[in-house]
Amino acid sequence: MKKLRILIMSFHHANENSVGALRTRAMEKYFPENGIEVFTVHYGKSKNKFFGAERSIGFPDGCRDSIGLFGAIILRALRYICTKILHTDLSENFIWEWNVKKRADDIIAWSTPDFILGSYPPTSSLELARWFSKTYKIRLITDFRDGFLCDALEADLRVN
């Protein structure tokens, strides 16, 4: 019998030392115990740059630790311009989203998932999971934790 395969989109990852990583850590532990192969796309550096044997891969984001102080100031100015002047939302994690989408075909070939799971917060995890689901016609599962304490869902996500 073929094992089910799930691709988890979670900004927070099991290697991270934070509360946000606990849920992903549990999924990566318990899904395999129940016959489900798990692949995870997350924020951060990853040893698995070429989609080898490991089951998780990290992509950089536009936070200060990955782009430096000067880059963070430029990013904050760009987000301000988009939000206040152009009246459009630019996700806090848009660089992470862009980096993941850039390698989307490789990610799908690497994981060949039966399901995509988007783990909230932040909304960027859900947005990526939704994009992958629509683009590659793969069933979507969403995981919400912490209510909407961290950031509200965008209007177009709430409608669907």
pTM for the whole structure: 0.75
In a domain, 115, yes or no: yes
In a domain, 145, yes or no: yes
Q: Could you tell me the CATH number of the domain that includes residue 117? A: 3.40.50.2000
Tokens of residue 81, six digits: 């311009």
The string of DSSP letters for the chain reads: -PPEEEEEE-SS-TTS-SGGGHHHHHHHHHHHHTTEEEEEEEES--S-TT--S-SEEEE--SSHHHHHHHHHHHHHHHHHIIIIIS-----TTHHHHHHHHHTHHHHHHHH--SEEEEEESSHHHHHHHHHHHHHHT-EEEEEE-STTSS-PPPHHHHH-
- Is the pLDDT assigned to residue 154 strictly greater than 70? no
Residues 95-152: tens digit of each pLDDT: 788 889 999 999 999 999 999 999 887 888 888 999 999 999 999 999 877 655 555 5
Total residue length of the chain: 160
Tell me if 133 sits within 8 A of 158, measured CB to CB. no
Residue range of the domain that includes 31: 4-60+94-159
66 vs 57, more confident: 57
In a domain, 72, yes or no: no
Domain count, the chain: 1
